[in-house]
Amino acid sequence: MTELRLSHRPATGRKVADVLVRVFSVLSAALGIFFLFWILWVVLKKGHTVLSWSFFTSAPPSPGEGVGGIKYALVGTLKMTGLACLMGVPVGLLTGVYLAEFGRHGAFASGVRFCVNLLMGIPSILVGLFAYTVIVLAAPRHYSGNAGAFALAIIMLPTVARTSEDMLLLVPDALRESALALGIPRWRMITGILFRAARKGLLTGVLLSVSRVSGETAPLLFTALNNNFYPKNLSQPTANLTVTIYNYAMSPYDNWQRVAWGASLVIMAFLLGVTLLLRFILKERHRS
């Protein structure tokens, strides 16, 4: 009887509901795209006026005098991000290997997976406070680029770990079984076969983690702080783009505000480039 009643229900209500959901979905997507392009337009409009080769090769300007550039902040950002990759990517990759190849359904692996998921949801400012307590306070209030790289590495780790696990699990078990049947050691099978089969997905995870930390400001305020001089090493307060944007945007000086807009455009262009690269990698992966 229920099926009979359902089959004779008028279709008008369902069609109206379908149209309303479609219209609401389209309007929501259009609203999000509108604000996205609005942000892109404002940053491009205000930031392109200072872009030039000297903007990337000049020292920061004095308050109210000249335009200057982001040379020191750019170098410091690249150094800290590179060190963060050296610390966070190997640990995250090995964590993903353990979860996909050794633990899988074990109790310890479930605990590790839970901790990784929890770490992905922790606000970055808490990571900065942790790095501040563990590293900065350990060397009497000594801010440094090393502490900033440590905080960024913690943020990168869960993204690399989860992506690595997911990509390795997509590799067919037939490849594992064939390699082990030929007598290849398990570590050689992982590094020589699984990594090659999932290399594009693993690279995607690394790029995602880099793009995530590229715009982080709060952790660096507690760790690397900032510096108006060339960062010779990372054992001292280190200039970086995000804190430079924060400080210059809040200043009353017009030239500093222009530098902040230009640095914002540089970060936005980097994120856009990483996004396009990820789409290209994923597209090639689906083709193969």
Q: Within this chain, do residues 35 and 68 fall inside the same structural domain, yes or no?
A: no
Has residue 3 been placed in a domain? no
Question: Partners of 65 in the beta sheet?
Answer: 62
With a cut of 80, say whether residue 20 has pLDDT above it.
Answer: yes
Q: Which residue has the tokens 């992982």?
A: 190
Q: How would residue 183 be classed by pLDDT, with cut points 50, 70 and 90?
A: confident
CA 221 distance to own-chain centroid: 18
Q: Quick one: pLDDT at residue 141? A: 63
Residues 6+ apart with CB under 8 A from 147: 131, 132, 135, 136, 223, 224
Confidence of residue 286 (pLDDT cuts 50, 70, 90): low
pLDDT score, position 284: 66
Return d(Cα 60, Cα 90) in angstroms, integer.
34
Q: What is the pLDDT of residues 92-103, one digit of tens each?
A: 999 999 999 888
Q: What integer pLDDT is reported at residue 28 of this predicted model?
A: 93
Q: Quick check: helix, strand or coil at residue 62? A: strand
188 burial level (CB within 10 Å; 0-12, 13-18, 19+): exposed
Task: Tell me: pLDDT of 21 over 70.
Answer: yes
Residues 44 and 64 reside in one and the same domain: no
Residue 144 maps to which CATH number? 1.10.3720.10
pTM for the full predicted model = 0.86
User: Which residue, among 248, 264, 244, has the nearest Cα to 51 in the 3D structure?
Assistant: 264
Task: Say if residue 33 is in the same domain as residue 90.
Answer: no
Compute CA distances 134 → 121, 128, 171, whole Å: 20, 10, 39
* Angstrom distances, CA of residue 120 to CA of 116, 167, 228: 6, 18, 32
Tokens of 173: 């078990």
Q: Please name the amino acid found at residue 117.
A: N
Tell me, yes or no, whether 212 lies in a domain.
Answer: yes
Do 282 and 267 belong to one domain?
yes
Q: What is the pLDDT of residues 134-173, one digit of tens each?
A: 999 886 668 899 999 999 999 999 999 999 999 999 988 8
Token digits for 42?
A: 């404002």
Query: Residue 1 domain-assigned?
Result: no
Percent of the chain predicted with pLDDT > 90: 52
Number of domains in the chain: 2
236 burial type by CB count under 10 A (0-12 exposed, 13-18 middle, 19+ buried): middle
Task: Report residue 1's pLDDT band, with 50, 70 and 90 as the boundaries.
Answer: very low
Tell me: the pLDDT tens digits for 34-78? 999 999 999 999 999 888 899 999 888 888 777 788 999 999 999
Q: What is the pLDDT of residues 233-272, one digit of tens each?
A: 888 899 999 999 999 999 899 989 999 999 999 999 998 8
Q: 92 and 19 in one domain?
A: no
Q: Name the one residue in this structure whose structure tokens are 């262009």.
A: 269
Q: What are phi and psi of 10, to 5 degrees?
A: -65, 145
In 125-164 the beta strands, taken as DSSP E runs, fall at: none
For the segment 184-205, what is each residue's pLDDT rounded down to a tens digit? 888 899 988 899 888 888 988 8
Question: Within this chain, do residues 220 and 249 fall inside the same structural domain, yes or no?
Answer: yes
Same domain, 72 and 191: yes
Identify the three-state secondary structure at position 69.
Answer: coil
Is residue 7 very low, low, confident or very high in pLDDT (cuts 50, 70, 90)?
low
Is 108 in the same domain as 235?
A: yes
Check whether residue 32 and residue 77 sit in a common domain: no
Query: 31: domain range?
Result: 9-50
Of the candidates 37, 161, 195, 174, the residue with the CA atom closest to the CA atom of residue 89: 161
